[in-house]
Structure 1
Amino acid sequence: MTDDLRREGLAHWVGRALGMPFSAELSDLTCDAGFRRYFRTDTNPSLIAVDSPPQQTKPAHFVALADYLRRNGIHTPMVVAADTGQGYLLLEDLGDTQLFGVLSSDSVEGLYAEVMSELLCLQQIPRKESLFPKYDSELLLTEMRIMPEWLAGKLLGYQLPAMEARLLEETFQLLLNNAASQPQTLVHRDYHSRNLMIRGGERPGIVDFQDAVWGPVTYDLASLLRDCYIRWPRERVERWALAYAATAEAAGVLEPVEPERFLRWFDWMGLQRHIKVLGLFPRLSLRDGKQGYLGNLPLVIRYVLETAGRYPELKPFSDWFGSQLLPLIEQQAWYSDYRCAGD
């Protein structure tokens, strides 16, 4: 079915779901949501209509996950109506104000306190195995291998010699060991400033949770504090991370852990995520036509080189990236100096 026909079918379905004798009026929302498309209704209050093709997405899983998270106190969009067979959903409208849009040096302390409090609530939710698969080594490794395939190979045209491929696999194994050594909790998997919605007088709304898994305790914290779209000074980030660790210990999410060990967990988990993103953003550009993501790569590169360069075990990877890939990256039209990215 074409996009136009699916939109028409969604409009008819929304009208029926709301008891109207006619199709609902839908306006497009700009969302980078893979195969899903989002629309806003003209009703009062407005709602979000979602076209979620069941062949490419899992609408029934989304509905079950949204319900489970809401029943455990998380402000995900309420599902007003759903036809998971057709892939049509009608959701509560959490508004247009992303955390990203209201962050500043003055506001960040209070806003991060709110969203880290929500993260702690997420991490206290008991596991339901049918909803939260394990974020295991196989999945983490598959994610990191996106980087040599899509950044090095397909974007830059660089094929790794066998020795360099081994260096990457050895680095990836270090990061996998770090992930496995951490306490395991619910992981949103994309907990950052563009997936957290702010509306006055309400708890932060959480969207894009459909890929949630059960994995390392620092993953979402690193996603938030080492956000691919906004950067804060390292000293401030480490202070926030250690304050979160103390709160998580008090809540029973963490056993007592030395600050140095927690920061190593945090740093290395963030590096795993950023290596994945170094491949994911080129894939979104080359495969899916979403060109805007490439402009965010310099900040991700900065995170990768700063973090890897601080640890002797990871410095060979940092040196390789700087000598082999960075000169090719610097020739790209989208590139800007990574050393000041996010400043």
Structure 2
Amino acid sequence: MKQSVSSTTEPQDIPARERLRLYLERSGCAVDASRIIALTPDASVRAYFRIPWHGATAVAAVYPEPFDPATHPFLDVTQLFAEAGLPVPQVIAVEGELGIIVQEDLGDRQLRNLLETASEDEREQRLEEAIGLIAQIQAATELAYARDSICSRLAFDEAKLSWELDFFYQHYFGSLRGEKLSDSEERRLKDELYELARELAARPRILCHRDFHVSNLMVDQRGRLRIIDHQDARMGPASYDLVSLLLDRQKAPPSLAELRERRLFFLEARASRGLPTIDPDEFAREFRLTTVQRGLKAVGTFSCQTAVYGRGRAYARFIRPTLEIVLQALEWLGRFPEIRRQIAARIKDPIELEVS
């Protein structure tokens, strides 16, 4: 039986696919439900579908609840990025009552998949293109403030960074490994985690995508690199998106020489856009601090998805290499001995594989 939104039915109580079918019917694109193709969300509360749209296709994001388009983060940040000339998908239609945003269909080619089969020259070209986009995002910082964008009012402040590190502690040691540290170990570990959060929070802030990894970069039908999943943009350290691009979900730590080369290229890309000069050694130190925080935050997510939500097939394999990357950064920094000790003691014990 077809459902409709009435005075007694809240939109969020109608399944996402049915809400979308209802919207398409209203929009003159009535289709058989079988032509609404579910796309795989990535640890997201949103449901994504590829849909027929007036003779072509589009991608619809269906949110869990209705929203006000005037204050919706995705719409706000998309408008900001588009105004800054960044290659985000075009928003085609919005239906706040049903919690639906219809946007341009960029296809299925993630940069992650392309890099796995690319030649060395193409891989280099694509990574440099992506690094250039990070510098372009950072160059939009003043515009974000001028527009009073939602992202200009959010930051990787001490509270946010500490919350993410608490999430790591809860789900890596607790949910995944079922361990309880001694009171003294927990105190020492959390003291260092909060010290890390305070130090990163004190760094100069600039506009960050926040999840600039290679699965959030698409290669469209014309071969152009496009940015998706940008609704959580906020102000943070200059190194944040570069760490995400180079180190998120890697199978093994990259060489220190490669990371140094990428950092220097990024600093040149910033300079070419008139952004303030950053000392390379100081940037390297911040990059390592961000690597530790971002890596531990990611391990918390992978652990939660594996142990709490039963999605180990997709996430568990990244836990050990991410911890190896974090440990590499910690050794380079020569700091945070308790974090180093706790990770080193467990890195050869891949318990995540047993629960995946």
The TM tier, using the shorter chain, reads 0.7 to 0.9
The structure-2 alpha-carbon separation of the partners of 1:203 and 1:253, relative to structure 1 and needing over 3 Å to count, comes to: farther
Q: Show CA shifts across 1:165-207 (max 9, x none).
A: 2222232233224423433111111101100001254541111
Match of 2:80 among 53, 68, 89: 68
Note if contact 1:192-1:227 (Cα within 8 Å) is conserved in structure 2.
yes
Question: Residue in 1 aligned with 2:36?
Answer: 26
Note if contact 1:191-1:220 (Cα within 8 Å) is conserved in structure 2.
yes
Whole-Å separation in 2 of the counterparts to 1:195 and 1:67: 18
Question: Residue in 1 aligned with 2:250?
Answer: 229
Tell me if 1:174 matches 2:195: yes
Residue identity opposite 2:174 in structure 1: G
Whole-Å separation in 1 of the counterparts to 2:305 and 2:263: 30
Residue identity opposite 1:20 in structure 2: C
Q: Show CA shifts across 1:22-48 (max 9, x none).
A: 567311112225211111113443101
Structure holding more helix per residue: 2
**Aligned to 1:268, what secondary structure does the other structure show?**
helix
Q: Show CA shifts across 1:63-100 (max 9, x none).
A: 22212211221111211111122201211011100000
Tell me if 1:91 matches 2:112: no
Deviation, structure 1 residue 290: 2.0
Question: Which has the higher mean CA deviation after the structures are superposed, 92-101 or 48-57?
Answer: 48-57
Q: Show CA shifts across 1:213-252 (max 9, x none).
A: 1111110011011122355322112111122113213423
The structure-2 alpha-carbon separation of the partners of 1:246 and 1:287, relative to structure 1 and needing over 3 Å to count, comes to: same
Question: Which has the higher mean CA deviation after the structures are superposed, 79-88 or 35-44?
Answer: 35-44
Question: Residue in 2 aligned with 1:239?
Answer: 261
Whole-Å separation in 2 of the counterparts to 1:331 and 1:273: 21
Match of 2:225 among 204, 216, 222: 204
Tell me if 1:314 matches 2:325: no
Whole-Å separation in 2 of the counterparts to 1:163 and 1:283: 25
**Which consecutive residues of structure 2, in runs of 5 or more, have no partner in the other structure?**
1-10
The structure-2 alpha-carbon separation of the partners of 1:220 and 1:258, relative to structure 1 and needing over 3 Å to count, comes to: same
Tell me if 1:257 matches 2:278: yes
- Normalising to structure 1: TM-score of the pair? 0.88
Matches within 5 A, 1:1-343: 5-17=15-27, 19-20=28-29, 25-43=35-53, 44-54=55-65, 60-103=72-115, 104=118, 106=120, 107-125=122-140, 126-128=143-145, 129-132=148-151, 133-199=154-220, 201-231=222-252, 232-254=254-276, 256-291=277-312, 292-323=314-345, 325-326=346-347, 329-334=349-354
Aligned-residue Cα RMSD (Å) equals: 2.6
Identity, % of aligned positions: 27
Note if contact 1:298-1:335 (Cα within 8 Å) is conserved in structure 2.
no
Deviation, structure 1 residue 333: 2.9
Whole-Å separation in 1 of the counterparts to 2:335 and 2:67: 40
**Which consecutive residues of structure 1, in runs of 5 or more, have no partner in the other structure?**
337-343
Question: Which has the higher mean CA deviation after the structures are superposed, 77-86 or 280-289?
Answer: 280-289
Count of matched residue positions in the alignment of Structure 1 and Structure 2: 332
Whole-Å separation in 2 of the counterparts to 1:65 and 1:223: 19
Question: Which has the higher mean CA deviation after the structures are superposed, 147-156 or 176-185?
Answer: 176-185
Deviation, structure 1 residue 307: 1.1
Note if contact 2:209-2:234 (Cα within 8 Å) is conserved in structure 1.
yes
The structure-2 alpha-carbon separation of the partners of 1:305 and 1:282, relative to structure 1 and needing over 3 Å to count, comes to: same
Whole-Å separation in 1 of the counterparts to 2:86 and 2:178: 44
Note if contact 1:10-1:88 (Cα within 8 Å) is conserved in structure 2.
yes
